[in-house]
Each structure stands twice: as C-alpha cells, then as structure tokens.
C-alpha cells in the first residue's frame, strides 16, 4: 500500500524550482549585467554599493524555500546548513546580517520594483513587470540575461 502511494507521488512545482532563476533589480540600478562573482559578493554583503554609489539592498527568498536553496547552491556554493552557519558566523564576527527574506516571489517582484537599489531572484516562470533582469542562474552557473 505504501509503495503504491509512493509510486504515484510527484514533487510539487514548489519543491522543484525551474532550471533557470532570474536575478532582478530595481529599474534605477545602473549595472546592466552581473556575473557569478558579483552576485556572490552582493548576496554575501561584501559589495554594498552599485557602480553609481547607491546602496545595494539584496533580498532573499525564505530559508528552506526550494528557490533559495537552488540560488544559494548555484551562486554561493552553499547548501542549506552552510548558508545558516555562514550568517551566524558573519553576525557574531562582523555584525553583518543576512539579506532580508521576502515571503513570496510575487511580493519580491513588487518590492524590487518599488525599492531603489534592490536586487532579488525568482523562478524564470514568474511574471515580471517594472524590474530589470541582470543575470540568469542555471544549474550550470550564472549567465547573461
């Protein structure tokens, strides 16, 4: 009986992110493209200013979310436990906080649209309006949009 139930179970779209993730920014961000090293620097809070001197506001998906796990793995080289340990260590050693988490992808798009200097990431299938794509994150790495 259990085997039969497992045989028909399929993971939901929520647990399996699209192969591609899009990195989006506020329309006022001057940088047109970002590579993997730049994304890593931004999302680890080592790079804090855009090329015009404006403050970078990185936004994450919630911890444990499949899109966040995929992004952390593909751009930061972290699994879920490594990411959590990194931010605990960064807070203790330098007082650096992890980027704010936004509850849903639709809300993240709306926040990036409204918040100058902001950057976030969503599945490629998410509707985008009023934001600009600066990178595509694939299973094989980061590429131009």
Residue with tokens 């918040």: 115
Q: With beta carbons less than 8 A apart as the criterion, state whether 117 and 55 touch.
A: yes
pLDDT for residue 10 is more than 50: no
As a whole number, mean pLDDT of residues 26-46 equals 96
Q: How is 84-131 classified by DSSP, letter by letter?
A: HHHHHHHHHHH-PPPPEE-S-HHHHHHHHHHSTTEEEEEETTS---SE
Query: pLDDT tens digits for 63-78?
Result: 889 999 999 999 999 9
The model carries a pTM of 0.85
State the pairing for strand pair 118-123/57-60. parallel
pLDDT of 26 reads 98
Residue partners of 60: CB distance under 8 A and separation at least 6:
43, 68, 71, 98, 99, 100, 101, 102, 120
pLDDT for residue 13 is more than 70: no
Q: Which long-range contacts (CB under 8 A, 24 or more apart) does 82-88 make?
A: 86/44
Q: With beta carbons less than 8 A apart as the criterion, state whether 23 and 135 touch.
A: yes
Please give the Cα distance from 98 to 84 (Å, whole number): 9
Domains present along the chain, CATH in parentheses: 18-143 (3.40.190.10)
């Amino acid at each position: 009986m259990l085997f039969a139930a497992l045989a028909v179970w399929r993971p939901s779209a929520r647990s399996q992110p699209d192969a591609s993730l899009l990195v989006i920014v506020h329309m006022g961000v001057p940088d047109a493209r970002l590579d993997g090293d730049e994304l890593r620097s931004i999302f680890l809070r080592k790079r804090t200013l855009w090329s015009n001197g404006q403050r970078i506001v990185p936004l994450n998906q919630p911890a444990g979310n499949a899109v966040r796990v995929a992004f952390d793995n593909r751009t930061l080289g972290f699994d879920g436990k490594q990411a959590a340990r990194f931010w605990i260590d960064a807070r203790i050693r330098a007082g650096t906080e992890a980027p704010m988490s936004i509850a849903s992808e639709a809300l993240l798009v709306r926040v990036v649209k409204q918040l100058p200097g902001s950057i976030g990431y969503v599945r490629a299938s998410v509707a985008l309006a009023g934001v600009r794509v600066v990178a595509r994150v694939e299973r094989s790495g980061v590429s131009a949009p």
